[in-house]
């Protein structure tokens, strides 16, 4: 989230699109209720299903799954054509005036530089701003230059007419225009819309671009940086935000630092490539301090073994030979027999990963599988023949499965990071049962044994293991407190003020925040964005002061938010260029008080930079502005374009009917074997989507009797029109199949899913919740992911769980 849960109470309009917060985030949803009750906010829901969020909305519009870029692109066109943009905001705070390089182009559905053989854009050199002789990006404040971002944006989305968008999305035009009109009202400087989204946007091959497109709408309206505004990703597991913060993706390091590529063997070049100089005069370009964060991380990991002489142990970091070893890639390699051992720590891929048949075959090719989990999972039992639900030949599977029971959060101390970036400390509530051990205990044990083996037997490249700095009171099980302090960071030598020479932080003391980090090895910090969460004053995450002095829900004394206890990101943008809030009464967040920036939140800005200096609010980009034009950062192009799901019910992209390369995302993550497994609308005519229910949490709660009682058995939702066409009555058993397999379930026949008219034909949706399987107390059932395709977004590699094709028959 750019903002946070309790800030939603400040919204004037709430758009839930690509999520179902009432169902999946029922606690957070209370802030929507607050906004409606106390701020007269309106709620709009755009979703293929009339879901639980829609049931309390002021306006609901149906949409065909996978087509939100068309909807939002049409909205961008509408805002531009009807002059419903926040002019002063976009001119000053976004890249609309910047000029793009000559040669940049978009034709027939593809951006400049496409390589069909490699299915991607290896050459993105024209996807950038034009740089002048002084090293700064060129601009045209009049917005009239034909290659300025404003003109390119306008031209790109002029194709997204209401007629075309409606025919792609299946949203009736009158409803669509009602949504657009309501959204457009928030272009007034004091009016703010928030966007709440989750998997309905992320789980598509164009997921990242859907989210970008939503952010572009918010920028045009001036809604980013404002209280009650922002782009709010409703996260999944209680600590999934913490997972990405800590860099637990194969191409990341903690704090969104990135692993080097194999082309980056040189340390200085690695840093230079990540620490950009400002691209416009007087801008901050905060990533220019990358090396401070990086060196402090290396000091946290390797301690005295990271030295200036060995480039802070740069050679010990893995160098990626491909964009990343994401889970799709790893399971594909496993399937191809290229991996023989796998640790499944808090992961149940048989249930949660696409194309169960492929995942199952992949696990069968392992020598060993280690499952670290507090519960019995389908993955730990993938080899068990559970009849029709898991029809495998047990005798043919040779994989050895080790099951290591772990504790769960309630049996440990620690912090969870919520969607709003708050780190909230929690305390152990009970002792673990039986032989269960903490994950830290198990991993520490593995580390010590590996280290002993390297010491006694040697081996290829022992340095990173032997060089690790393991300085904990209990080496076998470091405590949550020690690890938290390490993430927050400390001084390794006395830190002195460069001007006065006075000692600011003594050696061994905790740091106050990332502003104190140094690139000379004198500080250690395990995750720079979390720096300040545990200071000399103690554990900031354990704070529980809910005082709200400004009545806006910015409770700065409750827990701790990254970065720097800041609650709303880019909050400088809540004030005019001259430093006064756009709305000084109800939306007062930060302001220039004559000598410095002050506010109801921690200013996201250089505190002493006066408005006259012209520093822009988006201090993380080199030019200081938010980007409509993503330069070369996205896999499929600088502007989001609508592409069809890989399994499309209409078989063509109405925007580019004549170019098969531009039918579905031309830069998606897709593997050769899986291409052959995509089904077509002739055989599988219905658009399917999968989702969750309040009554279950993934595959865990089917182990609990009460949850198993409330939702005992797998069902699928079918609209009344389709049910009557197929002769299916409520309660019938149906067989739902895709080109990868089938499941059987009880039919729920509903008014909540209605047929849509798309590209001149009728498209029916089938809704499939995902919580059942072949272990636990609920009725044994099929795995929903038997049906889903093994294909992902080209940027995040998130699988396309939300749009694929199925057929439905009476079982
Ligand atoms: N009770 C409960 N709560 C949970 C979870 C749980 O298992 N149980 N899981 C947690 C996790 S890990 C996560 S990630 C979150 C997920 O939270 P959500 O994303 O809100 O959950 P989903 O139910 O997967 O999907 C949300 C909605 O997306 C819609 N949708 C599908 N395709 C499209 C599309 O193309 N466009 C649009 N606009 N909408 C579409 C679906 O119809 C559905 O209503 O929930 C978390 N909360
Ligand atoms: N078709 C379809 N598939 C989906 C989705 C969808 O919407 N549609 N949603 C996707 C999403 S958003 C997600 S997040 C994934 C979830 O996918 P997974 O992460 O695989 O699923 P979970 O069941 O949430 O968690 C895995 C295991 O973690 C264990 N666990 C809990 N606490 C601990 C702990 O402290 N330590 C250890 N070691 N284990 C622990 C749980 O018991 C559980 O068995 O599913 C994805 N799959
Ligand atoms: Mo999730």
Give the ligand with the smallest distance to the CA of 692.
1
Best mutation site among 23, 342, 344, 346 for ligand 2, i.e. most ligand atoms within 8 A of its Cβ? 346
According to DSSP, the β-strands at 686-691 and 765-769 are parallel
The neighbourhood of ligand 3, an ion, using CB within 5 A, equals 236
Residue 597 domain-assigned?
Answer: no
DSSP classification of residue 662: G
What is the percent of the chain with per-residue pLDDT over 90, rounded to a whole number? 99
Residue 480's SS3 state is helix
Which residue, of 190, 220, 236, is where some domain finishes?
236
Residue 761 domain-assigned?
Answer: yes
Give the ligand with the smallest distance to the CA of 198.
1
pLDDT given for residue 213 in this prediction: 98
Q: Whose CA is nearest to atom 35 of ligand 2?
A: 408
Is the beta carbon of 170 within 6 A of some atom in ligand 1?
A: no
Average pLDDT over residues 567-587: 97
The torsion defined by the Cα of 498, 500, 502 and 503, in degrees rounded to 10, comes to: -10
Average pLDDT over residues 354-365: 98
The residues, ordered by sequence, that sit 6+ positions from 702 with a Cβ below 8 Å of its Cβ are 696, 708, 771, 772, 773, 775, 776, 777, 778
Residue 497's SS3 state is coil
pLDDT given for residue 623 in this prediction: 98
Distance CA 293, CA 316 (A): 17
- Among candidates 285, 287, 280, 281, which has minimal Cα distance to 98? 280
pTM of structure: 0.98
Q: Whose CA is nearest to atom 14 of ligand 1?
A: 236
What is the pLDDT confidence band of residue 87, given thresholds at 50, 70 and 90?
very high
Tell me the per-residue pLDDT of 588-623, one tens digit each, with 9 for 90 and over.
Answer: 999 999 999 999 999 999 999 999 999 999 999 999
pLDDT given for residue 792 in this prediction: 97
Residue 147 domain-assigned?
Answer: no
Task: Give the binding-site residues of ligand 2, using a 6 Å CB cut-off.
Answer: 199, 203, 236-237, 345-349, 352, 372-375, 377, 406, 408-409, 439, 690-691, 698-700, 770, 784-785, 788, 801
- Among candidates 759, 748, 742, 749, which has minimal Cα distance to 805? 742
Cβ atoms of 523 and 293 within 8 Å: the answer is: no
Inform me whether the pLDDT recorded for 324 exceeds 90.
no
Average pLDDT over residues 554-573: 98
pLDDT given for residue 322 in this prediction: 87
- Is the peptide bond between 355 and the residue preceding it cis, with omega within 30 degrees of 0? no
Q: How many CB atoms lie within 10 A of CB 141?
A: 11
Locate the ligand 1 atom nearest the alpha carbon of residue 53 and give its number.
44
What is the pLDDT confidence band of residue 672, given thresholds at 50, 70 and 90?
confident
What is the pLDDT confidence band of residue 498, given thresholds at 50, 70 and 90?
confident
Identify the bridge partners of residue 368 per DSSP, sorted by sequence position.
341, 400
Residue 175 domain-assigned?
Answer: yes
Q: Supply the mean pLDDT for the chain.
A: 97
What is the pLDDT confidence band of residue 93, given thresholds at 50, 70 and 90?
very high
Inform me whether the pLDDT recorded for 30 exceeds 90.
yes
Angle at 77 between CA 73 and CA 81, to 5 degrees: 170
Residue 730: what are its φ and ψ, rounded to 5°? -55, 135
Packing angle between helix 173-184 and helix 68-81, nearest 10 degrees? 60
Locate the ligand 1 atom nearest the alpha carbon of residue 202 and give its number.
19
Cα(790) to ligand 2 centroid in Å equals 17
Q: Rg (Cα) of the chain, in Å, rounded?
A: 27
Domains: count for the chain: 2
C-alpha dist (Å) from residue 627 to 93, 120, 170: 9, 22, 30
What is the percent of the chain with per-residue pLDDT over 70, rounded to a whole number? 100
Residue 194 domain-assigned?
Answer: yes
Residue 468 domain-assigned?
Answer: no
pLDDT given for residue 436 in this prediction: 97
Inform me whether the pLDDT recorded for 323 exceeds 90.
no
- Among candidates 640, 577, 653, which has minimal Cα distance to 613? 577
Average pLDDT over residues 454-474: 96
Is the beta carbon of 46 within 6 A of some atom in ligand 1?
A: yes
Is the beta carbon of 199 within 6 A of some atom in ligand 1?
A: yes
Tell me the per-residue pLDDT of 714-772, one tens digit each, with 9 for 90 and over.
Answer: 999 999 999 999 999 999 999 999 999 999 999 999 999 999 999 999 999 999 999 99
Residue 693 domain-assigned?
Answer: yes
Which residue, of 236, 268, 292, is where some domain finishes?
236
Inform me whether the pLDDT recorded for 412 exceeds 90.
yes
Alpha helix stretches (DSSP H) within 392-490: 439-457, 463-466, 480-488
Is the beta carbon of 663 within 6 A of some atom in ligand 1?
A: no
Tell me the per-residue pLDDT of 361-378, one tens digit each, with 9 for 90 and over.
Answer: 999 999 999 999 999 999
Q: Whose CA is nearest to atom 6 of ligand 1?
A: 697
The separation between CA 591 and the C-alpha centre of its own chain, rounded to angstroms, equals: 30
Identify the bridge partners of residue 424 per DSSP, sorted by sequence position.
416
The residues, ordered by sequence, that sit 6+ positions from 334 with a Cβ below 8 Å of its Cβ are 342, 362, 363, 365, 366
Cβ atoms of 717 and 753 within 8 Å: the answer is: yes
Q: The CATH number of the domain where 72 resides is what? A: 3.40.228.10
Residue 306: what are its φ and ψ, rounded to 5°? -100, 115
Q: The CATH number of the domain where 664 resides is what? A: 2.40.40.20
Best mutation site among 348, 771, 803 for ligand 2, i.e. most ligand atoms within 8 A of its Cβ? 348
Residue 449 domain-assigned?
Answer: no
Cα(237) to ligand 2 centroid in Å equals 8
Q: Whose CA is nearest to atom 15 of ligand 2?
A: 352
pLDDT given for residue 387 in this prediction: 95
Cβ atoms of 198 and 18 within 8 Å: the answer is: yes
Domain hosting 38: range is 5-96+160-236
Task: Find the helix or strand (DSSP H, E) in which 215 lies.
Answer: helix 207-220
Which residue, of 196, 211, 236, is where some domain finishes?
236
Residue 109: what are its φ and ψ, rounded to 5°? 95, -5
């Amino acid at each position: 989230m750019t903002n946070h849960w309790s800030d939603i109470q400040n919204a004037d309009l709430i758009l839930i699109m690509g999520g179902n917060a009432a169902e999946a985030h029922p606690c957070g949803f209370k802030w929507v209720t607050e906004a409606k009750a106390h701020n007269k906010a309106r709620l709009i829901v755009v979703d293929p299903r009339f879901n639980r969020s829609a049931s309390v909305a002021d306006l609901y519009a149906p949409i065909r799954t996978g087509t939100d870029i068309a909807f939002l692109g049409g909205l961008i066109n509408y805002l531009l054509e009807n002059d419903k943009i926040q002019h002063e905001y976009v001119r000053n705070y976004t890249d609309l005036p910047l000029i793009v390089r000559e040669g940049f182009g978009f034709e027939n559905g593809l951006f400049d530089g496409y390589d069909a053989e490699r299915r991607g854009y290896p050459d993105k050199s024209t996807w950038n701003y034009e740089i002048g002789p002084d090293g700064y990006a060129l601009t045209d404040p009049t917005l009239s230059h034909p290659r300025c971002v404003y003109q390119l944006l306008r031209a790109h989305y002029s194709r997204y007419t209401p007629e075309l968008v409606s025919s792609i999305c299946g949203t009736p035009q009158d409803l669509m225009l009602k949504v657009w009109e309501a959204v457009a009202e928030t272009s007034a400087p004091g009016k703010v819309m928030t966007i709440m989204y989750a998997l309905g946007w992320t789980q598509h091959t164009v997921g990242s671009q859907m989210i970008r497109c939503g952010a572009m709408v918010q920028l045009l309206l001036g809604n980013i940086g404002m209280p009650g505004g922002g782009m709010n990703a409703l996260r999944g597991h209680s600590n999934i935000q913490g997972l990405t913060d800590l860099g637990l993706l194969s191409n990341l390091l903690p704090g969104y630092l990135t692993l080097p590529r194999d082309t980056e063997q040189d340390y200085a070049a690695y840093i230079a490539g990540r620490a950009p100089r400002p691209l416009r005069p007087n801008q901050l370009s905060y990533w220019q301090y990358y090396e401070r964060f990086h060196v402090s991380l290396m000091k946290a990991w390797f301690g005295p073994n990271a030295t200036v002489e060995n480039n802070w142990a740069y050679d010990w970091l893995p160098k990626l030979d491909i964009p990343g070893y994401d889970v799709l890639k790893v399971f594909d390699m496993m399937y191809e027999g290229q991996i023989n051992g796998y640790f499944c720590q808090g992961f149940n891929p048989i249930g949660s990963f696409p194309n169960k048949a492929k995942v199952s075959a992949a696990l069968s090719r392992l020598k060993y599988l280690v499952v670290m989990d507090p519960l019995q999972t389908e993955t730990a039992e993938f080899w068990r023949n559970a009849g029709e639900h898991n029809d495998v030949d047990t005798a043919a599977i040779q994989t050895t499965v080790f099951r290591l029971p772990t504790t769960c959060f309630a049996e440990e101390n620690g912090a969870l990071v919520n969607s709003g970036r708050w780190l909230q400390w929690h305390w152990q509530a009970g002792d673990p049962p039986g032989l269960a051990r903490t994950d830290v205990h198990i991993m520490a044990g593995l580390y010590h044994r590996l280290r002993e083996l390297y010491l006694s037997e040697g081996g290829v490249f022992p340095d990173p293991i032997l060089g690790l700095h393991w300085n904990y009171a209990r080496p076998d099980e470091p405590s949550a407190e020690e690890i938290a302090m390490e993430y927050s960071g400390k001084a390794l030598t006395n830190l002195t003020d460069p001007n006065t020479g006075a000692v600011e932080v003594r050696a061994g003391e905790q740091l106050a925040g990332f502003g104190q980090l140094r690139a000379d090895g004198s500080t250690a910090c395990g995750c720079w964005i979390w720096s300040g969460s545990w200071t000399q004053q103690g554990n900031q995450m354990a704070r529980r002061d809910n005082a709200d002095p400004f009545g806006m829900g910015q409770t700065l004394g409750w827990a701790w938010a990254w970065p720097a206890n800041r609650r709303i990101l880019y909050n400088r943008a809540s004030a005019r260029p001259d430093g006064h809030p756009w709305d000084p009464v109800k939306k007062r967040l930060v302001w220039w008080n004559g000598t410095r920036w002050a506010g109801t939140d921690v200013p996201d800005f250089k505190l002493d930079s006066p408005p006259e200096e012209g520093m822009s609010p988006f201090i993380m980009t080199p030019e200081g502005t938010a980007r409509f034009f993503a330069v070369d950062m996205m896999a499929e192009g600088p502007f989001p374009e609508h592409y069809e799901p890989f399994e499309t019910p209409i078989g063509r992209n109405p925007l580019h009917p004549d170019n098969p390369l531009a039918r579905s995302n031309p830069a998606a993550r897709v593997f050769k074997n899986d291409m052959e497994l995509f089904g077509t609308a002739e055989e599988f005519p219905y658009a399917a989507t999968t989702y969750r229910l309040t009554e279950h949490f993934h595959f865990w709660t089917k182990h609990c009797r009460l949850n198993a009682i409330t939702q005992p058995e797998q069902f699928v939702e079918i609209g009344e029109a389709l049910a009557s066409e197929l002769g299916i009555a409520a309660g019938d058993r149906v067989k739902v199949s895709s080109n990868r397999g089938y499941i059987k379930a009880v039919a729920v026949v509903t008014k909540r899913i209605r047929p849509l008219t798309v590209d001149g034909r009728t498209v029916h949706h089938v809704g499939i919740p995902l919580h059942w399987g072949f272990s636990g107390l609920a009725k044994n059932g099929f795995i929903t992911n038997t049906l889903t395709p093994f294909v992902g977004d080209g940027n995040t590699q998130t699988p396309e769980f939300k749009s694929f094709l199925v057929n439905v028959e009476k079982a």
